C-alpha cells in the first residue's frame, strides 16, 4: 500500500506490455506451434492480466471492447479511469492500489465481481449503475461510515461483501449492523451468515430498517412515476402532439408576453380569458387525441409493411438457399464420381460443371431481380400510403390551428374592445383605484393600448405558428428519413449484399475447376 | 309380415264390441281347458306318465332336465303371481291371435331350463357386475359376444321353444340369439341403460353370425392427415407474385391429359369395386325375411344416449336403427313390460319409430301411467283385464274393476361372475372369429404361455389361404412386448414395446437375414442421450436425437462394404467407417455464422468439413474444410500449424470475422479429439444393436410373464406376503382374545349360566366380583408378606448361629456364611420389591375392574347374557 514513488519508476501501459500480457495468457506458452500473428487483435481478447507492474495510470485499454476480465492488482493506480469502453467487463480486480475514490465505473453495467481490497477509499459511492454486482470486496480501506453500508442495500444481486480491515469494521456493533442492513448478502467477510444472528440483528435494528424501507419505497415510487411520465412524453412526441394534452400551449402563449399579461388586468378580461381558455384547450385536446390516433394507424401500417416485406424476403431467401443446397448436392455427386476414376477432373466434367454454375448464377440472379421488383413496388405503395396519411394529418392539424388562430383573433378583438372601454373609462377617471401604477401608463393613451394589444396578438400568433411549423416539419422529416432509410436499406444495401454474396459463391465454386 | 292398421288392440276392441263379447265368452269358457291344452302342448309329459307311452309316438320332451333338484326353487316352480301372469299372457296371446290372424305368434312364455313356462320379462335380471369394464354398452356387448358360443336356431324361421336363464347361459358359455340378447339386456339395464330385447327378423348373415363379409374391426386405422394449407390472408403489402411466364395453353393441355388419366383410373377403380362387390355379394337366401333373430335395442334418455340404436349381441357391434340387416320387429321387452310392434315392417326397420309410449305404434301389455314408467306397479291392459272378468260384467264396470297387477320379480338368481371367470372371458379361454379376409384369435390373458391375447391374420383371398400380415398382441410380457406385426410378403417384423425396458426401446422394425435394414425407435425422454431413433442399413447407421443440450440432431455413419471373406464370419469385426456426419440444430444464443450446422468427419479422406448455419439474410451457409495433418496419428510429435491444413473457407459475407490462425489451430485439435470420440460412439451404437439382437433372442426364449403385485391370484410372492399378513392379523386377534379374560364367567357359572338376569342379580354379581378381587389381592399380599417374614426369620437365626460359632470357624465356613447371607439379602430385596409393586398395582387393577364392570353390557339393562362361542 505504502509504496514510495521514488523507489519505483511508474510504468506506462504500452503496446509491448499489452502484447506480452495477451501472449502470456495463451495456453501453448513458448511452444511455437502457431506462427505469431503480426497484429494484436484487441477485440478478440477476453481477459487481461496487468498485475505487479507498478502501473500508475489506467490507460490505453479502450481498444479491448470484448474484455470480460481485467486484473490490475498490485500496482500504484490512484484513480479509476479509462474503463468507459470496456462495457462487457464482468470481473474487475483493482486490489492493492492507491485508489482514494470510487469513480469511473458507470458504464460497466455487466460487472459482477469487483475487488477494491487494500486501497484508500473512505466512501462507498458512484456505483448506482452496477445492478448485477455479486461480489464486492472493499476490505482494508478507510471506510468509516454507516451510510456507505446503507448504500449497498440497492444491489439486489449482491451476495458476498468483504469489509474487514476498515475502521468501521472495528466498531463493536459492526457485524450486527451490517447483516441487519444488508439482508440480501449471504457471506460477510467470506463467512456464511447464520440464520439465528441474522434474525437477532434484524430485531435489533427493526425500527431503523423499517424507516429505511419506507423511504426507499417512496423513492422507488417516485422513480417509477417519472419514468412513466418520460415514456408518456416520448409517446406523445412520436405522435407529434407533445405538450398538447393540457393547457400548456395556452399558457405558453402568455408566458413570454409581458405586455399581454398587463392587458389582462383590464376589467372583464378574467372572464374572457377563462372563456377563451376553455375553448382553446378543447380544440387542442381534440388535436391531441387525433394525433395519438393517427400515430396508431401509422404504426399499424408500418408494422404491416414490415411483416410483408420480411415475409417476401424470407421466402425469397429460402428459395435461393434451396437452389444453392441442390447445387451443392449435385456438386458432391459429380466430383465423387470423378475422384474414383482418376486424379483431377476431366474436361468434360469441367465443362458440365461450368454450365451448371452459369445456370446457378442465372437462377439466383433471376430470383434476386424478381425480389427487387417486388420490393420496389411494395415500397412505392407504402410510401404513397404513408405520404397520404401524413398529409391527412397535416391538413387536419392545419384546420385546427386555423380554429385556434380564429379564437386568438376573437380574443384579440375582445380584449381591444375591453381595453378601449377601459381607456375611455380611465379618461373619465373611473378606474383609479383598481390599477397598479405601471399599467396605468399603458392605459394613458388609446394608441399605446392598441399597440400593446397588437404586440400581444403578434406574440400569440407567432407562438401558434411556431408550434405548427415545428409539428409539420418534424412529421415530414420523420417521413422522409424513414422512407429514405427503407430505400437505402431494403433496395440498395440489401440488393448489393445479395449480389456480392452470389458472386462470391460463384467464384468460390468456380475455384473447384480452375485449380485443376 | 302382418298388415298393420295402426289401431290399438283395445281401440278395436271398443269398436267391435259384439265380436269381443263373444270372444270373451269363449275365452271364459275355455279358460281351464286352454290352460291344460297349453300344458299338454308345450310342457313335457310328466316323467311318471312316460313309461307307458312309446317314445317314438310322442315328440321327445323339448327340455330335458336331468336333475331339477340342482336348481333353486324359483326355477322349478311358478309362484302364484307368476301363474296369474301366465294366465294373462295366455289371454293376451289368444286375443292377439284372434285379431291379427295373419301375424306370427309372439315370443311370450318359453320354457326355462327346468321345463317350466316363464314370462320373458321375468327372465331379464338387471344386474350390475362389479367390473368397471362392463359399465359401457360397447364393452358389455363385446364381453357377451366373447363369452358365449353361438348356437343357431333350429328351425331358423321359428321362435325357439325355450329361453334359458341368463345365469345358465353365463355359466354354460353358449346360447342362441335370444339367450345372447337376454343376457346382454340384463347387463345393460343393470348399468342404467334403457335397453330392450327385440324379437324380429334379420338376414341370414346376421342370424348365422357370419362376419366374413364384414371388414376386420381390428384393422389399424391408418391416420390420414389432411393438412389443409390455409392460404395466408392477403395483406395490404403482400408482394405480388413474380410474373408467371409459363404457357397457359400448355398447362391446359397438360391438365386435360391428367384429367383423362384420372378419369381412366376412376373408371378402372369403379370396375374393380364392382367386381369386388360381385364377389362379396351373398348368395340369394330362400328364407329371406322370415329368419327369426333377437337383438338389443337401446333407447335414448338414460346414460347420455343421444339416439336409439341396436346392438347385435352376437358380435357386440352397435348398429343404427335403419340398418338394412334387420328386416322387421315383432315385439320388444324389458324387465317391466312387453310391447308389440304395430308398424309396417315391409321396408325393414328403416321407418320404425321407437317412442314406446305411442300407442298407435306400440301395443303394450301392461299399462303404466306414463309418468311412472319404470315403477313396478302395472295395471293390465284392457284386453287382458276383460279376459279375466266374469262374462256377465259389462265394459262399464271393467274400467272400474281394473286390477293393479305387478310383473313379478325375476325368477332368475342374481348373476355373478368371479374375477377369474371374467378374465377367462372366452369359452375355454380362447375364441376365433372370421372377418373378411381376416382371422382373429383371441385368448384370455395368462392363458397362453407367451402372453399372447390377440392374433389377427390378414389374408389376400377370401378362402384364408394366402397370408399377408399377422398382428399379435401380448400382455404381461416380461420384455414389455406389446405388439408384433409380421409382414409375410416383405418378411419384416415390427415390434412395439411398452415403456419400462432397460434399453427404452419403443419400436423395432427388422427383417430377416444378416444384412437387413432395421429401425429402432426409443422412448427418447427416458434415455439419457436423447436417442429417439436408430436406423441401420447395410452401409449406413444413423442415430436421431431429440432435445439435446448440444443441439445434436443426428449422427450418420457410412461404412465400407464388408470385405467378403470365406470361412466363418467374425462377429466383432467392426466395419471400416468412410465418414461420420453430425447435424446440429440452431443454438439461438450463438451467431448463425458461429453455430455449426453440419460436421463431416471424412475419416477415409482425412478431412473435416464444417458447415455453419445459414443466416436469415443470406442464401449460403459458411463452410470450412480442414485437412488432417499427415502425422496426426503420431502422438509424440506436436502438430504444428501450417497453412496447408486449412483447405478452403467460404464465408457468406465478407464482413464476417476471419478466425485467427491460433483459433483455427485449436479448432482443428479439438476436431481430431472429437473424431475419436465420435468414432467410439458409432462403434458403441453398433455394439448396442448386436446386444439388442442377442437380448431379444434370449427374451423370446425365456418367455416369462410378469404378475402385478396386486394380483394375488397369480403372483406367488405377493400371495405369500398377503397370507403372512393375514396370519399375523389372526394371531394378533387371538392374543387379544386371550388377554381379555372373562372375569364374570366363574360367577355366572356359579348361578348356572342363566341367559337373563335381573338388576338384583347383576348387583350381586358385581359386588361378588369386586369382593373376590379384593380377597385375592389380599391373599396374594399375605402370601408374600409371609414369605418375607420367613426369610427374615431364617436370616436372623443364621446370624445368631454365626455369632455363636464365630470363634473357631474355618475360613471356608465363614465364606459360606457370607454367601448365604448375601443370597438371603438378595431374596429379601426381591420380595420387598414385589410386595411394593403388588400394592401399587392392586389399586390400579381394582379401578380397572370397577370401570369394566360398570361398562359390562351384561350387567346393564336388559341384562342379556350372550351364549358363549365355542
Model confidence over B641-696: pLDDT tens digits? 666 666 678 887 777 777 777 778 888 888 888 888 999 999 898 888 888 888 88
- Among A262-271, B19-28, B512-521, B643-652, the minimum mean pLDDT is found in B19-28
- Among A85-99, A476-490, B151-165, the minimum mean pLDDT is found in B151-165
Has residue A262 got a pLDDT over 60?
yes
Interface A-B: count of C-beta contacts within 8 A: 87
Cβ separation B660–A508 shorter than 8 A:
no
Q: Which residue has the higher pLDDT, B757 or B499?
A: B499
Angle A195-204/A174-181 helices, nearest 10 degrees?
A: 90
Cβ separation A33–B660 shorter than 8 A:
no
Tell whether B604 lies on the interface with A, counting CB pairs under 8 A. no
Q: Which residue has the cell 320387429?
A: B329
Cβ separation A34–B619 shorter than 8 A:
no
- Among A384-388, B358-362, B713-717, the minimum mean pLDDT is found in B713-717
Q: Which residue has the higher pLDDT, B578 or B244?
A: B578
Helix/strand/coil for A100: coil
Q: What is the pLDDT of residue B231?
A: 60
Cβ separation B665–A33 shorter than 8 A:
yes
The grid coordinates of residue B74 equal: 324359483
Domain ranges (residues) in chain B: 6-217+287-398, 426-527, 528-563+573-685, 714-740, 744-859
For residues B621-640, give the mean pLDDT.
75
Nearest-CA neighbor of B619 among A330, A353, A494, A359? A494
Q: Which of A508, A510, A511, A515 would you mutate first to test chain B, the one with the most B CBs within 10 A?
A: A508
Cβ separation B620–A324 shorter than 8 A:
yes
- Among A116-125, B27-36, B87-96, B631-640, the minimum mean pLDDT is found in B27-36
Q: Which of A297, A332, A497 would you mutate first to test chain B, the one with the most B CBs within 10 A?
A: A497
Q: Least CA distance to B624: which residue of chain A?
A: A508
pLDDT bracket for residue A219 (50, 70, 90) = very high
Q: Which residue has the higher pLDDT, B572 or A128?
A: A128
Q: What is the pLDDT of residue B27?
A: 41
Has residue B497 got a pLDDT over 50?
yes
Cβ separation A33–B640 shorter than 8 A:
yes
Rounded to a whole number of angstroms, the distance from the CA of A36 to the nearest CA of chain B is 8
Please, are residues B709 and B722 in contact by the beta-carbon 8 Å criterion? no
pTM above 0.80, yes or no: no
Q: What is the pLDDT of residue A220?
A: 92
Angle A206-238/A174-181 helices, nearest 10 degrees?
A: 40
Has residue A40 got a pLDDT over 50?
yes
Q: What is the pLDDT of residue A187?
A: 93
Q: Least CA distance to B616: which residue of chain A?
A: A314
Q: What is the pLDDT of residue B764?
A: 83
Residues 239-298 of B with CB under 8 A from A: 239-240, 242-243
Q: What is the pLDDT of residue B70?
A: 78
For residues A99-128, give the mean pLDDT.
90
Q: What is the pLDDT of residue A38?
A: 57
Rounded to a whole number of angstroms, the distance from the CA of B618 to the nearest CA of chain A is 7
Cβ separation B235–A321 shorter than 8 A:
no
Q: What is the pLDDT of residue B537?
A: 85
Cβ separation B619–A304 shorter than 8 A:
no
For residues B705-722, give the mean pLDDT.
77
Q: Report strand pairing: A47-49 vs A69-71.
A: parallel
Helix/strand/coil for B384: helix
Quick one: DSSP state of residue B134? G
Q: Which residue has the higher pLDDT, B330 or B30?
A: B330
Q: Which residues of B touch A321 (CB under 8 A)?
A: 614, 619-620
- Among B278-287, B476-485, B601-610, the minimum mean pLDDT is found in B278-287
Please, are residues A98 and A120 in contact by the beta-carbon 8 Å criterion? yes
d(CA B91, CA B384): 6
pLDDT bracket for residue B627 (50, 70, 90) = confident
Nearest-CA neighbor of A69 among A86, A84, A85, A47? A47
Strands (E), B395-525: 404-406, 430-435, 438-443, 452-459, 467-474, 481-487, 492-497, 505-511, 518-522
Rounded to a whole number of angstroms, the distance from the CA of B258 to the nearest CA of chain A is 28
Rounded to a whole number of angstroms, the distance from the CA of B247 to the nearest CA of chain A is 19
Which domains are assigned to chain A?
11-223 (3.80.10.10), 247-515 (no CATH)
- What is the ipTM for the molecules in this complex? 0.72
For residues B784-793, give the mean pLDDT.
89
Nearest-CA neighbor of B519 among B500, B504, B502, B532? B532
Please, are residues A130 and A105 in contact by the beta-carbon 8 Å criterion? yes
- Among A259-268, B313-322, B686-695, the minimum mean pLDDT is found in A259-268
For residues B726-730, give the mean pLDDT.
91
pLDDT bracket for residue A192 (50, 70, 90) = very high
Tell whether A355 lies on the interface with B, counting CB pairs under 8 A. no
Q: Can you say whether the dihedral through the CA atoms of A247, A249, A255, A258 is positive or negative?
A: negative
Has residue B266 got a pLDDT over 90?
yes
Q: What is the pLDDT of residue B50?
A: 47
Q: Which residue has the higher pLDDT, A427 or B790?
A: B790
Has residue B454 got a pLDDT over 60?
yes
Mind listing the pLDDT tens digit for each residue in B11-65? 334 334 344 444 444 444 444 444 444 444 444 444 444 455 454 555 566 666 6
Q: Which residue has the cell 388562430?
A: A405
Has residue A311 got a pLDDT over 70?
yes
Cβ separation A34–B240 shorter than 8 A:
no
Burial of A498 (0-12, 13-18, 19+ CB in 10 A): buried
Rounded to a whole number of angstroms, the distance from the CA of A320 to the nearest CA of chain B is 6
Tell whether B639 lies on the interface with A, counting CB pairs under 8 A. yes
Has residue B806 got a pLDDT over 50?
yes
φ and ψ of B545, to 5 deg: -120, 160
Cβ–Cβ contacts within 10 Å for residue A225, how many? 10
Q: Chain-centre distance of CA B540, in angstroms?
A: 43
d(CA B178, CA B201): 12
User: SS3 sequence, B642-694?
Assistant: CHHHEEEEECCCCCCCCCCHHHHHHHHHHHHHHHHHHHHHHHHHHHHHHHHHH
d(CA A245, CA A231): 14
The grid coordinates of residue B453 equal: 391375447
Has residue B238 got a pLDDT over 90?
no
**Per-chain mean pLDDT for chain B:** 78
Has residue A39 got a pLDDT over 70?
no
Q: Chain-centre distance of CA A124, in angstroms?
A: 27
Strands (E), A204-350: none
Cβ separation B237–A378 shorter than 8 A:
yes
Q: What is the pLDDT of residue A437?
A: 65
For residues A241-263, give the mean pLDDT.
78
Cβ separation A309–B662 shorter than 8 A:
no
Cβ separation A26–B662 shorter than 8 A:
yes
- Where is B328: in which H helix or E strand? strand B326-333
pLDDT bracket for residue B543 (50, 70, 90) = very high
Rounded to a whole number of angstroms, the distance from the CA of B460 to the nearest CA of chain A is 42
Strand partners, B493: B486, B510
Q: Which residue has the higher pLDDT, A9 or A69?
A: A69
Has residue B448 got a pLDDT over 60?
yes
d(CA B261, CA B246): 23
pLDDT bracket for residue B569 (50, 70, 90) = very low
d(CA A437, CA A449): 15
Q: Can you say whether the dihedral through the CA atoms of A173, A175, A178, A184 is positive or negative?
A: negative
Residues 6+ apart with CB under 8 A from A2: none
The grid coordinates of residue B491 equal: 418378411
Cβ separation B239–A307 shorter than 8 A:
no
Please, are residues A365 and A443 in contact by the beta-carbon 8 Å criterion? no
**Per-chain mean pLDDT for chain A:** 85
Cβ separation A494–B617 shorter than 8 A:
yes
d(CA B721, CA B361): 63
Please, are residues A423 and A446 in contact by the beta-carbon 8 Å criterion? yes
Q: Which residues of B touch A364 (CB under 8 A)?
A: 619
Has residue A94 got a pLDDT over 80?
yes
Q: Least CA distance to B661: which residue of chain A?
A: A34
Please, are residues B385 and B402 in contact by the beta-carbon 8 Å criterion? yes
Cis status of the peptide bond prior to A224, with omega within 30 of 0: no
Amino acid at each position: 500500500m505504502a509504496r514510495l514513488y521514488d523507489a519505483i519508476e511508474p510504468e506506462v501501459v504500452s503496446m509491448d506490455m499489452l502484447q506480452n500480457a495477451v501472449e502470456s495468457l495463451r495456453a501453448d506458452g513458448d511452444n511455437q506451434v502457431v506462427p505469431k500473428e503480426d497484429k494484436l487483435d484487441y477485440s478478440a481478447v477476453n481477459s487481461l492480466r496487468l498485475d505487479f507492474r507498478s502501473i500508475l495510470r489506467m490507460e490505453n485499454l479502450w481498444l479491448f471492447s470484448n474484455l470480460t476480465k481485467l486484473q490490475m492488482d498490485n500496482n500504484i493506480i490512484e484513480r479509476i479511469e479509462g474503463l468507459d469502453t470496456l462495457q462487457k467487463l464482468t470481473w474487475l480486480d483493482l486490489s492493492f492500489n492507491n485508489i482514494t475514490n470510487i469513480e469511473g465505473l458507470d458504464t460497466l453495467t455487466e460487472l459482477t465481481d469487483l475487488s477494491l481490497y487494500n486501497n484508500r477509499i473512505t466512501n462507498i459511492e458512484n456505483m448506482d449503475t452496477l445492478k448485477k454486482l455479486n461480489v464486492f470486496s472493499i476490505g482494508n480501506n478507510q471506510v468509516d461510515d454507516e451510510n456507505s453500508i446503507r448504500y449497498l442495500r440497492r444491489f439486489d444481486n449482491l451476495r458476498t461483501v468483504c469489509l474487514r480491515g476498515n475502521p468501521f469494521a472495528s466498531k463493536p456493533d459492526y457485524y450486527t449492523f451490517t447483516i441487519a442492513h444488508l439482508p440480501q448478502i449471504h457471506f460477510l467477510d467470506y463467512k456464511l451468515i447464520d440464520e439465528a444472528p441474522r434474525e437477532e440483528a434484524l430485531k435489533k435494528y427493526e425500527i431503523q430498517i423499517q424507516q429505511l424501507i419506507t423511504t426507499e419505497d417512496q423513492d422507488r415510487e417516485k422513480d417509477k412515476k417519472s419514468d412513466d411520465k418520460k415514456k408518456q412524453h416520448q409517446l406523445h412526441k412520436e405522435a407529434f402532439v407533445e405538450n398538447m394534452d393540457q393547457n400548456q400551449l395556452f399558457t405558453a402563449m402568455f408566458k413570454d408576453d409581458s405586455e399581454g399579461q398587463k392587458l389582462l388586468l383590464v376589467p372583464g378580461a378574467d372572464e374572457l380569458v377563462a372563456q377563451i381558455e376553455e375553448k382553446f384547450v378543447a380544440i387542442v385536446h381534440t388535436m391531441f387525441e387525433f394525433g395519438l390516433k393517427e400515430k396508431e394507424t401509422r404504426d399499424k401500417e408500418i408494422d404491416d409493411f414490415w411483416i410483408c416485406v420480411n415475409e417476401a424476403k424470407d421466402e425469397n431467401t429460402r428459395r435461393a438457399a434451396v437452389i444453392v443446397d441442390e447445387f451443392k448436392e449435385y456438386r458432391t455427386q459429380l466430383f465423387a464420381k470423378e475422384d474414383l476414376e482418376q486424379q483431377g477432373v476431366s474436361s468434360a466434367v469441367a465443362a458440365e460443371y461450368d454450365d451448371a454454375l452459369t445456370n446457378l448464377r442465372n437462377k439466383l440472379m433471376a430470383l434476386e431481380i424478381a425480389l427487387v421488383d417486388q420490393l420496389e413496388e411494395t415500397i412505392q405503395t407504402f410510401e404513397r400510403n404513408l405520404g397520404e396519411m401524413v398529409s391527412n394529418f397535416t391538413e387536419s392539424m392545419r384546420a385546427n390551428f386555423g380554429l385556434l388562430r380564429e379564437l386568438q383573433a376573437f380574443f384579440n378583438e375582445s380584449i381591444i374592445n375591453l381595453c378601449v372601454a377601459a381607456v375611455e373609462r380611465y379618461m373619465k377617471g373611473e378606474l383609479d383605484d383598481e390599477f397598479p401604477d405601471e399599467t396605468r401608463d399603458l392605459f394613458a393613451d388609446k394608441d399605446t393600448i392598441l399597440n400593446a394589444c397588437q404586440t400581444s396578438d403578434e406574440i400569440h400568433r407567432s407562438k401558434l405558428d411556431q408550434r405548427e411549423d415545428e409539428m409539420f416539419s418534424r412529421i415530414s422529416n420523420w417521413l422522409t428519413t424513414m422512407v429514405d432509410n427503407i430505400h437505402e436499406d431494403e433496395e440498395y444495401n440489401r440488393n448489393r449484399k445479395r449480389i456480392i454474396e452470389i458472386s462470391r459463391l460463384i467464384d468460390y465454386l468456380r475455384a473447384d475447376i480452375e485449380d485443376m | 309380415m302382418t298388415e298393420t292398421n295402426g289401431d290399438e288392440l283395445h281401440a278395436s276392441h271398443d269398436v267391435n264390441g259384439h265380436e269381443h263379447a263373444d270372444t270373451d265368452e269363449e275365452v271364459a269358457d275355455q279358460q281351464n281347458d286352454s290352460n291344460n291344452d297349453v300344458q299338454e302342448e308345450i310342457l313335457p309329459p310328466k316323467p311318471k306318465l312316460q313309461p307307458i307311452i312309446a317314445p317314438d309316438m310322442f315328440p321327445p320332451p323339448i327340455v330335458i332336465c336331468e336333475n331339477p333338484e340342482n336348481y333353486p326353487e324359483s326355477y322349478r316352480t311358478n309362484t302364484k303371481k307368476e301363474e296369474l301372469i301366465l294366465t294373462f299372457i295366455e289371454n293376451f296371446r289368444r286375443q292377439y291371435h284372434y285379431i291379427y290372424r295373419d301375424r306370427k305368434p309372439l315370443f311370450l312364455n318359453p320354457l326355462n331350463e327346468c321345463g317350466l313356462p316363464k314370462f320373458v320379462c321375468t327372465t331379464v335380471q338387471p344386474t350390475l357386475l362389479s367390473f368397471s369394464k362392463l359399465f359401457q354398452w360397447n364393452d358389455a356387448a363385446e364381453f357377451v359376444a366373447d363369452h358365449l358360443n353361438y348356437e343357431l336356431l333350429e328351425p331358423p324361421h321359428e321362435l325357439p321353444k325355450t329361453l334359458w336363464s341368463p345365469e345358465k347361459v353365463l355359466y354354460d358359455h353358449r346360447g342362441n340369439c335370444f339367450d345372447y340378447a337376454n343376457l346382454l339386456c340384463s347387463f345393460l339395464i343393470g348399468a342404467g341403460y334403457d335397453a330392450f330385447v327385440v324379437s324380429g327378423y334379420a338376414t341370414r348373415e346376421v342370424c348365422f353370425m357370419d362376419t366374413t363379409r364384414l371388414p376386420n374391426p381390428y384393422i389399424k386405422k391408418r391416420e390420414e392427415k389432411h393438412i389443409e394449407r390455409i392460404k395466408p390472408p392477403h395483406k395490404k403489402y403482400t408482394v405480388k407474385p413474380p410474373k408467371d411466364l409459363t404457357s397457359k395453353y400448355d398447362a391446359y393441355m397438360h391438365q386435360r391429359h391428367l384429367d383423362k388419366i384420372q378419369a381412366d383410373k376412376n373408371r378402372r377403380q369403379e370396375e374393380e369395386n364392382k367386381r369386388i362387390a360381385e364377389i362379396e355379394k351373398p348368395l340369394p337366401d330362400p328364407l329371406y325375411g322370415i329368419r327369426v333373430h333377437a337383438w338389443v335395442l337401446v333407447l335414448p334418455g338414460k346414460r347420455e344416449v343421444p339416439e336409439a340404436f341396436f346392438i347385435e349381441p352376437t358380435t357386440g357391434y352397435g348398429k343404427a336403427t335403419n340398418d338394412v340387416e334387420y328386416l322387421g320387429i315383432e315385439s320388444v321387452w324389458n324387465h317391466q313390460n312387453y310391447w308389440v310392434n304395430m308398424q309396417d315392417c315391409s321396408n325393414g326397420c328403416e321407418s320404425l319409430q321407437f317412442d314406446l309410449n305411442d300407442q298407435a305404434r306400440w301395443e303394450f301389455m301392461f299399462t303404466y301411467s306414463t309418468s311412472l314408467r319404470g315403477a313396478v306397479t302395472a295395471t293390465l291392459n284392457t284386453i287382458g283385464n276383460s279376459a279375466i272378468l266374469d262374462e256377465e260384467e259389462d265394459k262399464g264396470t271393467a274400467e272400474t274393476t281394473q286390477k293393479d297387477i305387478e310383473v313379478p320379480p325375476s325368477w332368475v338368481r342374481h348373476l355373478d361372475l368371479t374375477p377369474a371367470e371374467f378374465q377367462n372371458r372366452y369359452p375355454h379361454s380362447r375364441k376365433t372369429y372370421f372377418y373378411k379376409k381376416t382371422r382373429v384369435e383371441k385368448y384370455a390373458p395368462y392363458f397362453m404361455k407367451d402372453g399372447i391375447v390377440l392374433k389377427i391374420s390378414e389374408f389376400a383371398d377370401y378362402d384364408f389361404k394366402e397370408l399377408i400380415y399377422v398382428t399379435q398382441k401380448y400382455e404381461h410380457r416380461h420384455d414389455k412386448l406389446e405388439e408384433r406385426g409380421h409382414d409375410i410378403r416383405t418378411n419384416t417384423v415390427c415390434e412395439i414395446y411398452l415403456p419400462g425396458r432397460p434399453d427404452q426401446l419403443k419400436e423395432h422394425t427388422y427383417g430377416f437375414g444378416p444384412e437387413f435394414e432395421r429401425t429402432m425407435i426409443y422412448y427418447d425422454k427416458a434415455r439419457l442421450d436423447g436417442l429417439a431413433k436408430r436406423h441401420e442399413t447395410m452401409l449406413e447407421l444413423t442415430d436421431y436425437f431429440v432435445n439435446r443440450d448440444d443441439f445434436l440432431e443426428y449422427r450418420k455413419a457410412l461404412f465400407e462394404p464388408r470385405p467378403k471373406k470365406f470361412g466363418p464370419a467374425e462377429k466383432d469385426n467392426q466395419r471400416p467407417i468412410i465418414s461420420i456426419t453430425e447435424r446440429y440444430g440452431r443454438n439461438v444464443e450463438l451467431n448463425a455464422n458461429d453455430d455449426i450446422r453440419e460436421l463431416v468427419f471424412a475419416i477415409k479422406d482425412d478431412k473435416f468439413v464444417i458447415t455453419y448455419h445459414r443466416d436469415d439474410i443470406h442464401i449460403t451457409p459458411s463452410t470450412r474444410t480442414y485437412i488432417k495433418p499427415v502425422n496426426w496419428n503420431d502422438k509424440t510429435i506436436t502438430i504444428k500449424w501450417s497453412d496447408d491444413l486449412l483447405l478452403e473457407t467460404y464465408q457468406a459475407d465478407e464482413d464476417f470475422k476471419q478466425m485467427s490462425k491460433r483459433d483455427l489451430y485449436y479448432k482443428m485439435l479439438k476436431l481430431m479429439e472429437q473424431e475419436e470420440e465420435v468414432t467410439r460412439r458409432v462403434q458403441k451404437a453398433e455394439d448396442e444393436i448386436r446386444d439388442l439382437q442377442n437380448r431379444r433372442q434370449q427374451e423370446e426364449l425365456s418367455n416369462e410373464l410378469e404378475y402385478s403385485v396386486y394380483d394375488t391370484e397369480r403372483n406367488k410372492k405377493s400371495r405369500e406376503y398377503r397370507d403372512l399378513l393375514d396370519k399375523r392379523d389372526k394371531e394378533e386377534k387371538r392374543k387379544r382374545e386371550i388377554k381379555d379374560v372373562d372375569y364374570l364367567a366363574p360367577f355366572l357359572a356359579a348361578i348356572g349360566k342363566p341367559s337373563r338376569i335381573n338388576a338384583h342379580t347383576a348387583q350381586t354379581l358385581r359386588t361378588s366380583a369386586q369382593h373376590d378381587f379384593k380377597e385375592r389381592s389380599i391373599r396374594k399380599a399375605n402370601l408374600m408378606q409371609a414369605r418375607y417374614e420367613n426369610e427374615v426369620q431364617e436370616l436372623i437365626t443364621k446370624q445368631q448361629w454365626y455369632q455363636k460359632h464365630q470363634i473357631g470357624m474355618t475360613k471356608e465356613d465363614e465364606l459360606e456364611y457370607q454367601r448365604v447371607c448375601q443370597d438371603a439379602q438378595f431374596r429379601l430385596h426381591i420380595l420387598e420389591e414385589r410386595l411394593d409393586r403388588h400394592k401399587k398395582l392392586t389399586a390400579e387393577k381394582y379401578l380397572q375392574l370397577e370401570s369394566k364392570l360398570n361398562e359390562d353390557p351384561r350387567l346393564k339393562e336388559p341384562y342379556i347374557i350372550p351364549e358363549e362361542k365355542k
